[in-house]
């Protein structure tokens, strides 16, 4: 893959099934009521073949196309990173708390700097732990499987 190639999260249809290359899960720890802010997205934007205008993408212009998601504590919000999403200003009396889990294919990266196992030599990582903690990269055939069937 050429250096500087822009990879964007995608949702693809294959054999009649939709598959997300970049699912995310937000575990909500405090209730988020209607109009209190927090997570918001543009429904259907993950399936668009056309760029979203910047005023919509950066929430500079809001309207009925932008949906805030009220959700109960303990719930999970599952979405694709391909969905145009972000955070509306928080207005609730309590703090906003959630845990965010993201899956990212090996050829994509959320950061340019990742910790490496050599940063903590005293940890004595197993070979499997070292594979799990590898920084993202894409080199077909080079990456060792994390699960080999014996795990």
Domains and CATH numbers, the chain: 21-103 (2.60.120.620), 106-151 (no CATH)
Give the Cα separation of 149 and 139 in Å (integer): 22
Residue closest to 38 by CA, chosen among 98, 88, 101, 93: 88
pLDDT recorded at residue 91? 95
CB 3 within 8 A of CB 138: no
Give the end-to-end CA distance of the chain in Å, rounded to a whole number: 31
Give the Cα separation of 24 and 76 in Å (integer): 10
Residue 5 banded pLDDT, cuts 50, 70, 90: very low
Give the Cα separation of 33 and 62 in Å (integer): 18
What's the pTM value of the predicted model, to 2 decimals? 0.64
Q: What number of other Cβ atoms are within 10 A of residue 99's Cβ?
A: 10
Dig out the tokens for 111 from the structure.
């950061």
76-104 tens-digit pLDDT = 999 988 888 889 999 999 999 999 888 87
19-77 tens-digit pLDDT = 777 889 999 999 999 999 999 998 887 777 777 788 877 888 888 888 999 999 999 99
């Amino acid at each position: 893959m050429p250096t500087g190639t822009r990879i964007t999260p995608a949702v693809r249809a294959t054999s009649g099934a939709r598959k997300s290359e970049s699912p995310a899960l937000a575990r909500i720890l405090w209730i988020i009521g209607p109009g209190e802010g927090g997570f918001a997205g543009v429904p259907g934007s993950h399936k668009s073949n056309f760029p979203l205008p910047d005023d919509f993408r950066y929430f500079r212009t809001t309207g009925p196309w932008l949906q805030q998601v009220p959700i109960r504590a303990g719930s999970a919000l599952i979405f694709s990173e391909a969905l145009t999403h972000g955070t509306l200003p928080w207005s609730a009396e309590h703090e906003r708390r959630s845990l965010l889990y993201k899956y990212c294919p090996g050829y994509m990266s959320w950061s340019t700097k990742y910790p490496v196992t050599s940063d903590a030599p005293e940890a004595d990582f197993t070979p499997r732990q070292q594979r799990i903690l590898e920084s993202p990269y894409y080199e077909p055939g080079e990456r060792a499987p994390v699960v080999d069937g014996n795990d």
